[in-house]
């Protein structure tokens, strides 16, 4: 009761900053394991992550942080995209002028446009590399089949977002790339012409098409991407965290030293206290099993009982790594945007297509195939490839080789996949460097 006599307007004021701070952040910076778990647990933004994360998931040489970089590029694209929307007008008469305004009068306009363009190129590349990582490490196998499918969906949405954004500057490159792109869509059997008409809102590329692509680009696709990212992340946790080799979860690993020696409480190393690895008989182990709330989490990766704890606290181990990847991503985009300007060609002239009219680099493999046969190159083969990608986890059910780069057990699957990847890259290189006017073969030297 004696304390209450001290409470008064003066102490309210002196304690104001601290009280506001503590009302937002319930936890002080943690110095104990309990605090570290509470930090992840009570913070809205941190609770997306598990309280503890497996050591194997933190290996940068396993994931190369590609999924995270994709996310951060998407965030950069969202922020810069919303800022650009303040000045952009989706009108055939004004769009190009607004591009010039971004260059000339809008403060940081050209820089924001550069960031948006280069982050978009980066996202297409990084999402693709992420997919390669997941394939080559066999991470799509049970129980992660569905998350692979979500991932393929995100890859396609990324490409489509890029494609729709491509039209918005309304320059020559944009106009003819969209003319070619929507014509490719019209080769789809049965629905082709309807798809083209729905995309363009007209019989040819014009004001309606610009408006439609704008709405898709700034509203429909970002919402879909956000939704799928949420499902993707949720599934990562529900499927038992990132993929890792089964040895990492063995109960009594053969002659594996404890990852980190038990640190004294005063030491700064932040390590979860490993469960005591008491040698028990198989039967006794089962009897001693304790089922907690984790018991209802499905999937073979959640182990209960005498599992050696090779996980560490997300705070600060995972959070600091994520921060590092974030800083590298932002720095990369900033540096590229400082030195290279996003291209802008002549305003649209519907009488004169540029010669050759080339799509952005990541569509040039497609355009190269299209130059042989519009149906097979633009619809048949891509549809086949996407179907194959979607079916991968159901065609390859062998459990071996998960969680390792270039696992011997996965030689066949990895070789097949790399053949497709290299073929597509070769087509892209031919399209970028070896095609000149009238799409004739030229030497870049």
Partner 1 sequence: MAKEPRTPEEPESGEAITRRKLLGWLTGMGVFGSVLVTAFSNFIFIKPRATYGQPNRFSIGKPEDYPSGSRMTLDTRRICVVRDGDRMAAISTTCTHLGCIVATSETGFACPCHGSHYDQDGNVTGGPAPKHLAWYQVSLAPNGEIEVDKDVEITPGTYFSV
CB atoms closer than 10 angstroms to residue 55: 17
Q: Assess 206 for contact with partner 1 (CB under 8 A).
A: yes
- Is the distance from CB of 168 to CB of 95 less than 8 angstroms? yes
With CB under 8 A as the contact rule, which of the stretches 56-64, 81-89, 331-339, 352-360 interacts with partner 1?
352-360
Give me the least distance between CB of 367 and partner 1, in Å please.
Answer: 8
Span between the terminal Cα atoms of the chain, in Å:
88
Which residue in the set 107, 255, 265, 351 belongs to the binding site for partner 1 (CB under 8 A)?
Answer: 351
Q: Assess 197 for contact with partner 1 (CB under 8 A).
A: yes
CB atoms closer than 10 angstroms to residue 38: 17
How many whole angstroms separate alpha carbon 215 and alpha carbon 203? Answer: 19
Q: Contacts with partner 1 in 373-392 (CB under 8 A)?
A: 373-375
Which residue in the set 93, 372, 395, 443 belongs to the binding site for partner 1 (CB under 8 A)?
Answer: 372
With CB under 8 A as the contact rule, which of the stretches 181-189, 242-250, 266-274, 421-429 interacts with partner 1?
181-189
Q: Assess 42 for contact with partner 1 (CB under 8 A).
A: no
Q: Contacts with partner 1 in 117-176 (CB under 8 A)?
A: 176
Residue/partner pairs of 72-75 with CB below 8 Å, 24 or more apart: 72/325, 72/326, 72/329, 72/330, 73/119, 73/122, 73/123, 73/126, 73/329, 73/333, 74/123, 74/225, 74/229
Q: Assess 190 for contact with partner 1 (CB under 8 A).
A: no
- Is the distance from CB of 254 to CB of 308 less than 8 angstroms? no
Q: Assess 285 for contact with partner 1 (CB under 8 A).
A: no
Q: Assess 184 for contact with partner 1 (CB under 8 A).
A: yes
Q: Assess 64 for contact with partner 1 (CB under 8 A).
A: no
Shorter beta-carbon distance to partner 1: residue 198 or 391: 198
| Cross-strand bridge partners of residue 435 | 441
Q: Contacts with partner 1 in 421-440 (CB under 8 A)?
A: 437-440
Verify cis geometry, omega within 30 degrees of 0, for the bond prior to 356. Answer: yes
With CB under 8 A as the contact rule, which of the stretches 69-77, 159-167, 198-206, 379-387 interacts with partner 1?
198-206
Give me the least distance between CB of 220 and partner 1, in Å please.
Answer: 11
Assign 385 to helix, strand or coil: helix
Q: Retrieve residue 52's tokens.
A: 């503890």
Q: Assess 91 for contact with partner 1 (CB under 8 A).
A: no
Dihedral sign for Cα 330, 214, 148, 430, please: negative
Give me the least distance between CB of 23 and partner 1, in Å please.
Answer: 43
Torsion of CA 408, 409, 412, 416, to 10 degrees: -80
Binding site for partner 1 (CB under 8 A): 176, 179-180, 182-184, 194, 197-198, 201-204, 206-208, 350-357, 370-375, 437-440
């Amino acid at each position: 009761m004696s304390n209450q006599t001290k409470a008064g307007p003066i102490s309210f004021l002196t304690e104001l900053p601290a009280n506001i701070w503590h009302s937002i952040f319930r936890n002080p910076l943690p110095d104990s394991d309990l605090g570290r778990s509470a930090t992840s647990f009570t913070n809205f933004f941190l609770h997306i992550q598990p309280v503890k994360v497996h050591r194997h998931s933190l290996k940068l040489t396993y994931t190369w942080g590609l999924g995270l970089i994709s996310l951060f590029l998407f965030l950069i694209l969202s922020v810069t995209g919303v800022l650009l929307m303040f000045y952009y007008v989706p009108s055939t008469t004004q769009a190009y002028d607004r591009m010039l305004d971004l260059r000339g009068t809008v403060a940081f306009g050209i820089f924001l446009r550069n960031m948006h363009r280069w982050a978009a190129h980066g996202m297409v590349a990084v999402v693709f590399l992420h997919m390669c990582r997941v394939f080559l490490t066999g991470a799509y196998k049970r129980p992660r089949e569905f998350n692979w499918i979500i991932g393929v969906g995100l890859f396609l949405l990324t490409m489509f977002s890029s494609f729709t954004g491509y039209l918005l500057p309304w320059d020559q490159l944009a106009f003819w790339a969209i003319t070619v792109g929507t014509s490719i869509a019209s080769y789809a059997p049965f629905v082709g012409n309807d798809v083209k008409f729905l995309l363009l809102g007209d019989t040819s590329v014009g004001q309606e098409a610009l408006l439609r692509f704008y709405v898709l680009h700034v509203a429909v696709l970002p919402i879909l991407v956000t939704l799928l990212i949420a499902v993707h992340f949720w599934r990562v946790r529900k499927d038992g965290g990132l993929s890792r080799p089964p040895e990492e979860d063995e109960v009594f690993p053969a002659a594996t030293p404890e990852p980190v020696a038990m640190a004294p409480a005063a030491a700064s190393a932040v390590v979860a206290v490993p469960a005591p690895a008491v040698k028990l008989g198989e039967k006794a182990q089962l009897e001693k099993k304790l089922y907690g709330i984790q018991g209802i989490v499905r999937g073979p990766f959640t182990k209960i009982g005498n599992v050696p704890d090779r996980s560490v606290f997300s705070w600060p181990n995972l959070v600091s790594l994520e921060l590092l990847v974030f800083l590298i991503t932002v720095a990369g985009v900033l540096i590229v945007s400082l030195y290279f300007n996003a291209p802008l060609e002549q305003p649209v002239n519907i009488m004169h297509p540029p010669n050759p009219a080339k799509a952005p680099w990541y569509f040039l493999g497609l355009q190269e195939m299209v130059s042989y046969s519009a149906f097979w190159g633009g619809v048949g083969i891509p549809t086949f490839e996407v179907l194959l990608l979607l079916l991968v986890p159901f065609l390859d059910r062998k459990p071996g080789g998960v969680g390792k780069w270039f696992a011997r057990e996965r030689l066949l699957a990895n070789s097949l996949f790399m053949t497709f990847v290299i073929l597509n890259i070769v087509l892209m290189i031919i399209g970028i460097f070896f095609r000149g006017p009238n799409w004739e073969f030229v030497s870049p030297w």
